[in-house]
């Protein structure tokens, strides 16, 4: 039996994680994402929860890291520490080769595998106690989401006995680059209903050492960007935010009905390069841009695009297209779409990006425009061969940004550069 002392919520987990601890029993949640900075306690509370699950349920827990030889010093030791914190040392048996931690009263275990040999994960057979818990530590070590999906799908394939549920836990420190797949997926305002994300820092950990705090404060004073990344768990990119005027919020039907300065832009694409069409309202007096609808996808022909625009009732509003494709613009006009090519000039890309950055705010509805939200929030500056930032955005996953530039190109030309403040690069 576990002492009542260790069952108490306040004795088992840090206060910051009370919500996570309660959510672990939520039958509607499958994925739990714990991210944040160094020393935040996320791995500790995860290990404590998994130990309790093994004690309370006839299940097997699988712990995974991308490289097998990193498991011993991370997951394995973390779980041993959790067992000690819970006062359960005499209830568990430890084995190193292969790594395994067994709950002796029942015989179910915590097992460990490295993703550097996927066949070992796929071939796991546990006859008596099914694998219902998966912990992937340092999720950001995986290069793609597909690598992770292969593992989760291997675990989720079997129907569980009545009363048991699958639960998948991810823990990681966010990578520096905003375009990293984990940042794109879990920094999003749009998450599946079966996914919960929890962010923590060392400031949430009441047990962190005085020396750790002193070091963190020193880094904060001397290297604030390093502090934001390593200790606060922020994806800082190159350290300069391209658009610091972004607001992500609902744009209501009532607001849209009152918009009277509608702009539309389109960046062409076809095969693997997405086409992006965006619709927005420009409040010229307050210098606010509201982006409230989009069309986005690959292999969209001009005829199909015209049909999509017409289905929305947008065909009579002028759309400014990428002028590099005059034949496509002519074809769309033939299908009844009002449009013309956006006027480009020398340095028009950099100018357009700076003009957008100089607006009071760019408001994007993430539900109506998920791709616009994703691209604007994750874009970073291009770099030179030495990794130094250049005064233009990286030409990657920026299709809706280009479409927005085209939509606003007439406004940009009328306004000129006079009101554009100097950028972070001194231009």
Asked if residues 154 and 122 have their Cβ atoms less than 8 Å apart, the reply is: yes
Per-residue confidence (pLDDT) for residue 61, from 0 to 100: 96
Per-residue confidence (pLDDT) for residue 76, from 0 to 100: 95
Q: Give the span between the Cα atoms of 284 and 282, in whole angstroms.
A: 6
Q: 244, 204, 180: which is closest to 421 by C-alpha?
A: 244
Domain ranges (residues) in the chain: 4-231, 246-415
CA 91 to each of CA 58, 86, 108, 213, 418: distance values in angstroms, whole numbers, following the listed order: 15, 11, 11, 35, 73
Helices (H), 284-345: 302-312, 326-334
Low-confidence stretches of the chain (pLDDT < 50) are 1-7, 416-427
Domain 4-231, what fold? Answer: Rossmann fold (3.40.50)
Per-residue confidence (pLDDT) for residue 424, from 0 to 100: 35
Residue tagged 């905003």 (tokens):
178
Per-residue confidence (pLDDT) for residue 184, from 0 to 100: 82
Per-residue confidence (pLDDT) for residue 5, from 0 to 100: 42
Exactly one of 73, 81, 84, 138 is catalytic; name it.
Answer: 138
138: annotated active-site residue = yes
Which secondary structure element, helix H or strand E, spans residue 198, and what is its range?
A: strand 195-200
Residue 176 CA to its chain's centroid (Å): 12
Task: Name the phi and psi angles at 335, rounded to 5.
Answer: -90, 5
Per-residue confidence (pLDDT) for residue 387, from 0 to 100: 59
Per-residue confidence (pLDDT) for residue 223, from 0 to 100: 83
pTM: 0.67
Domain 246-415, what fold? Answer: Nucleotidyltransferase; domain 5 (3.30.420)
């Amino acid at each position: 039996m576990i002492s009542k002392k260790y069952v108490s919520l306040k004795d088992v987990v840090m206060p910051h994680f009370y919500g996570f601890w309660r959510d672990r029993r939520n039958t509607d949640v499958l994925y739990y994402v714990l991210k944040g900075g160094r020393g935040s306690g996320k791995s500790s509370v995860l290990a404590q929860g998994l130990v309790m699950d093994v004690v309370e349920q006839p299940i097997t827990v699988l712990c995974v890291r991308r490289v097998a030889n990193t498991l011993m010093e991370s997951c394995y030791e973390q779980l041993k520490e959790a067992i000690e914190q819970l006062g359960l040392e005499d209830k568990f048996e430890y084995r190193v080769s292969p790594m395994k931690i067994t709950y002796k009263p029942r015989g179910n275990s915590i097992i460990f595998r490295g993703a550097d040999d996927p066949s070992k994960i796929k071939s796991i057979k546990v006859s008596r106690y099914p694998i219902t818990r998966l912990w992937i530590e340092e999720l950001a070590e995986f290069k793609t989401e597909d690598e992770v999906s292969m593992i989760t799908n291997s675990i989720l394939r079997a129907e569980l006995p009545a009363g048991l549920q699958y639960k998948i836990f991810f823990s990681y420190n966010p990578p520096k680059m905003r375009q990293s797949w984990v940042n794109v997926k879990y920094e999003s305002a749009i998450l599946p209903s079966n996914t919960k994300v929890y962010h923590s820092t060392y400031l949430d950990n009441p047990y962190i050492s005085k020396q750790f705090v002193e070091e963190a404060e020193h880094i904060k004073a001397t290297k604030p960007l390093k502090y934001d990344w390593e200790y606060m768990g922020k994806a800082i990119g190159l350290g300069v935010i391209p658009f610091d005027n972004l607001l992500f919020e609902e744009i209501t039907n009532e607001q849209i009905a009152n918009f009277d300065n509608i702009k539309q832009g389109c960046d062409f694409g076809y095969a693997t390069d997405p086409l992006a069409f965006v619709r927005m309202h420009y409040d010229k007096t307050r210098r606010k841009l509201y982006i409230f609808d989009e069309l986005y996808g690959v292999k969209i022909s001009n005829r199909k695009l015209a049909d999509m625009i017409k289905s929305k009732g947008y065909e009579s509003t002028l759309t400014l297209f990428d002028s590099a494709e005059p034949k496509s613009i002519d074809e769309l006009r033939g299908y009844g779409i009002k449009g013309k090519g956006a006027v480009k000039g020398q340095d028009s890309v950099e100018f357009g990006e700076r003009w957008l950055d100089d607006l009071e705010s760019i408001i994007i509805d993430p539900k109506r425009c998920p791709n616009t939200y994703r691209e604007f929030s994750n874009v970073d500056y291009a770099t030179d061969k030495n990794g130094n930032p250049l005064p233009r955005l990286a030409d990657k996953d920026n299709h809706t940004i280009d479409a927005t530039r085209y939509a606003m190109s007439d406004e940009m030309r009328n306004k000129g550069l006079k009101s554009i403040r100097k950028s972070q690069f001194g231009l």
